[in-house]
Homo-oligomer: A and B are copies of this chain.
Amino acid sequence: MSIDKFDKEILRRLQKDGKKQNKDLADEIGLSQSPCSRRVKHLEDTNIIREYVALVEPAAVGFPISIYANVALDKQTKESVKHFEDAIMNYPEVMECYLVTGKYDYILRIVAQSIDSYQTFLMDKLTLIEGVKNIQTTITMKPVKYSTSIPL
């Protein structure tokens, strides 16, 4: 179940092109098709490859705004934390959420169609979650880099 050299090469390439043909992949890493295919299948089955997705340009589909929100909770009890995280999971605008150290409890990246619609999200959803004490918003002005590739 350890990741060897071949697996790393496979992952490196599939992270760049999720639709790369098995034939080409096999050629590139220097294996024939069936062992290559088996390795890919194994990486999928063990959830090392979580999923294959199409990445959509947010601005092109009407979501030009990305916002970071730092969220502090009243208390960090198991129930309080679970309630917050469950709520977050149901909000598709929340693209990322991490539990963090420091004076806030969570960092969220939220996408929105406009600053107004973010305001609405804030008022109607985020601030209404039980246990949320304080939210600090950071507006992004420009995306500089967005990568999904782990640097193997």
Interfacial residues, chain A to chain B (CB-CB below 8 A): 3, 8, 11, 14-19, 46-58, 60-61, 63, 66, 68, 85, 88-89, 92-102, 106-107, 109, 111, 138-152
Q: How far is the CA of A151 from the CA of B109 in the complex (A)?
A: 13
How many copies of the shown chain assemble into the complex? 2
Given contacts A52-B55, A60-B47, A61-B11, contact A97 B19 (CB under 8 A): no
In the complex, how many angstroms separate the beta carbon of A83 from the nearest chain B beta carbon? 12
CB of A92 within 8 A of CB of B54, answer no
Given contacts A61-B11, A61-B152, A138-B102, contact A145 B97 (CB under 8 A): yes
Given contacts A60-B48, A92-B147, contact A140 B98 (CB under 8 A): yes
